[in-house]
Chains A and B, each alone.
Chain A
Amino acid sequence: EDQVTQSPEALRLQEGESSSLNCSYTVSGLRGLFWYRQDPGKGPEFLFTLYSAGEEKEKERLKATLTKKESFLHITAPKPEDSATYLCAGEGGTSYGKLTFGQGTILTVHP
C-alpha cells in the first residue's frame, strides 16, 4: 500500500530562521511527488511537482528536492506569511491521478 509520512507534525520558527520539512514516501512506481500549501479554511494550493531523484525546484523562499525515498521542502529566511500547512503527495503505480497525501506539517513563523 502506498504511504506518505511527513515530519515534523508542527514546526515553529522565528522570522529569518531557515529550516526543512521532510516527506518520506513508499509509492510504487512513483511518477510524481507534489508539494501543496494549505491555509486554514482553504483548499490546497499547488507549489511544485518533482519527477525524478536529484531534481530540485525553487519558488521564492521555497526549494523542493527529491531522492529515491524522500523529499525535502527547504524554507530560507521565512516570513510570517509563510505560515501554513504544507502537504506532500505521491502519485504512481496503477492508480493514475490518485494522490496519496501525508498528514501535513503545520508551519508557524513568528515575527
Chain B
Amino acid sequence: GAGVSQSPRYKVAKRGQDVALRCDPISGHVSLFWYQQALGQGPEFLTYFQNEAQLDKSGLPSDRFFAERPEGSVSTLKIQRTQQEDSAVYLCASSLLSYEQYFGPGTRLTVT
C-alpha cells in the first residue's frame, strides 16, 4: 500500500515567515511522529501523537513550533516566525503502535 507522504517536499521561507508542513500517515496507523534532521546528523525527536492526542511534545525546540492531528490522521507541523536555525529536513513517521516506525521522504526547509 501507500507509504507515508509529506508535502511540500521543499520549502523556502524568508526569515520571519510562518510555514506549515503536512504529513499523511499510512492508513490505519495509530501513532505519528515528527523528527528534525540537520545535515549530516541523525533525526531528532520533536513530537508524538497517538490518534489525535499529542502524548509527547518534549522535543519541540521552542514555542514557535506547533503540531496538530485533529482527526487522528493527517498531521501538520507549523513553525511561526521562522529563523535560520530552523533550516533542516522535517521527517514524519507512522506506526501501528510504538514500534517499527515508517518514515516519509521528508520536507526540506530552507530559511533565508
Contacts and interface: CB of A to CB of B under 8 A. Distances in A.
Interface string A83-108: 00001010100011111111110000
Of listed A49, A91, A101, residue having the most chain B CB within 10 A: A101
A87 B42 contact: yes
Interface stretch (A38-46, A52-60, A63-71): A38-46
A44 B104 CA distance: 8
A87 B43 CA distance: 9
B98 A97 contact: yes
Interface string B94-112: 0100111111111000000
A98 B98 CA distance: 8
Given A103-B40, A104-B42, A45 B103 contact: yes
Contacts of A4: 42
Which bracket fits the contact residues of B?
20 to 34
A44 B106 CA distance: 9
B56 A49 contact: no
Nearest to A94: B56
A66 to B, nearest CB: 15
Interface of A: 4, 32, 34, 36, 41-46, 49, 87, 89, 91, 95-104
Contact of A97 (B40, B42, B56, B106): B56
Given A87-B42, A98-B59, A101-B43, A49 B100 contact: yes
B82 interface: no
Given A34-B101, A98-B45, 8 more contacts: A41-B105, A43-B103, A43-B106, A44-B103, A45-B103, A46-B100, A97-B48, A104-B41
A46 B94 CA distance: 12
A11 B45 CA distance: 26
A36 B101 CA distance: 10
Nearest 7 pairs between A and B by C-beta? A101-B42, A43-B103, A97-B98, A98-B45, A44-B103, A43-B105, A103-B42
